Amino acid sequence: MLYLLLKVTSAVGLGLVLKHADARSLERLPLVRTNYAVAAIIGFFASVALGQTHISTPSMLLAAGTGVLFVAGLLIWARAIQTAGLALSVVAMRTAVVIPIFASVLIWHENPSMLEIAGSFVALLALALVLYDVTRSATPLVPTVRCAPPTQESRPTGGDMTEIGSAISDRVPSPDDNDGFEHSIPSTSTPDSRVPPPSSLRWLILLFLTDGLVMIPALVFRKELPSNETVPFQTVIFVAAFFVTTLLYYVRRSRFETETLKWGALLGAANFGNYLFLVLALTALPGLVVYPVIAAGEVGLLAVAGVVLWKEKVGVRSWLGIALAIVAIILIQLGKSAGA
């Protein structure tokens, strides 16, 4: 049970650290780079401790390619958290479990169980509800303010048109303006405290697709490659991801802050623990126990954390989507456990 709790804690910690980094306006790239450096170091020592120091060339090549997907997935998740919030992004990420199921059918011609099929439909319904809620949401506007008409003296009578244009562009109307026009003033609140803007839709879709693609190499490894290379495989993923983020770091000339090092290290520890404790939990407990707890713990706790800690606004459809996402993950994982 300890490993199961540590697995849920690690997964929830990932989301909380990314959300906190966004709230503190920390640069994502240095944060993610530090995360992969720490995760790779932990993975190396874990490989030595477990006696898994060998990795074959196919496993290494697959891990290197997966590392690129890991970088894309984590950066997209960070962006989705920034635009859509923690509660909704975790639904898009966790419902992506349907993608490797489809891949199993298309590539390995597997026959999914009825529970997996039902769970896949419920997952897609959950995602659709969340995405629909996002499309119905817009950046809130301050109620329209009607003001008195301007006086003749207040009207521009000539002069340099660039000065007039500058005045229009530099000055945002306020409810106190008395110019005879109706103003709808865009909210200047942060994304953490408002309904997700429509632009968050594409990030949620990208997160769903990317996270689903990330799961496919793990599926290939489990089916085609030696199981005693599990920890080295994960370590090489983190090493490859570190090199990719290092290259991006110097190309973009991102600035590095001391606070980024601290939170990046914490993110790296959570990232590695998220994978390691799942493996350990499955060795100590049956999947019928592990997967439902993980589903309810990760999706439920992260959704509640987003609402309670950062005051994210979640619509009724999105709450229904969150609940259905938990049900979908449980059905899918129970179906996998029953067929194992």
Q: What is the rounded distance in angstroms from the CA atom of residue 163 to the CA atom of residue 240?
A: 53
If asked whether residues 254 and 129 sit together in one domain, one would say yes
- Which pLDDT tens digit goes with each residue over 25-43? 899 999 999 999 999 999 9
Q: Verify that 44 and 25 share a domain, yes or no.
A: yes
Q: pLDDT band for 285, please (50, 70, 90 cuts).
A: confident
Bridge-partner residues for 146, per DSSP? 182
Q: What is the 3-state secondary structure (H, E, C) of the chain?
A: CHHHHHHHHHHHHHHHHHHHHHHCCCCHHHHHHHHHHHHHHHHHHHHHHHCCCCCCHHHHHHHHHHHHHHHHHHHHHHHHHHHHCHHHHHHHHHHHHHHHHHHHHHHCCCCCCHHHHHHHHHHHHHHHHHHHHHHHCCCCEEEEEECCCCCHHHCCCCCCHHHHHHHHHHCCCCCCCCCCCEEEEECCCCHHHCCCCCCHHHHHHHHHHHHHHHHHHHHHHHHHCCHHHHHHHHHHHHHHHHHHHHHHHHHHCCCCCHHHHHHHHHHHHHHHHHHHHHHHHHHHCCHHHHHHHHHHHHHHHHHHHHHHHHCCCCCHHHHHHHHHHHHHHHHHHHHHHHHC
What pLDDT was estimated at residue 290? 85
Q: 199 and 181, same structural domain?
A: no
Mean residue pLDDT across the chain: 83
Domain contains 18: yes
Report pLDDT for 234.
92
Identify whether residues 239 and 158 lie together within a single domain.
no
Whether 127 and 12 share a structural domain: yes
Percent of the chain with pLDDT over 70: 81
Q: Are 142 and 185 in contact (CB under 8 A)?
A: yes
Write the pLDDT tens digit of every residue in 197-207: 767 999 999 99
* One domain for residues 112 and 224: yes
Q: Does residue 274 share a domain with residue 202?
A: yes
Instruction: Tell me if 93 is assigned to some domain.
Output: yes
Same domain, 9 and 49: yes
Tell me, yes or no, whether 182 and 196 share the same domain. no
On whether residue 249 sits in a domain, the answer given is yes
Domain range for 308 is 2-138+192-339
Q: Is residue 276, in this structure, part of any structural domain at all?
A: yes
Report the domain count for the chain. Answer: 2
Residues 335 and 294 both lie in one domain? yes
Position 252 in a domain = yes
Is residue 230 situated within a structural domain?
yes
Q: Which of 118-122, 274-278, 326-330 has the lowest mean pLDDT?
A: 274-278
pLDDT digits (tens, 9 = 90+) for 114-166: 999 999 999 999 999 999 988 886 444 344 444 445 555 444 444 444 443 33
Q: For residues 69 and 224, give the distance between their C-alpha atoms in angstroms, rounded to a whole number.
A: 19
Same domain, 160 and 77: no
Indicate whether 251 and 300 sit together in one domain: yes
- Among residues 96, 95, 65, 84, which one has the least CA distance to residue 210? 96
- In a domain, residue 144? The reply is no
Least-confidence region, from 175-179, 182-186, 321-325: 182-186
Task: Kindly tell me if the per-residue pLDDT of 104 is higher than 60.
Answer: yes
In a domain, 143, yes or no: no
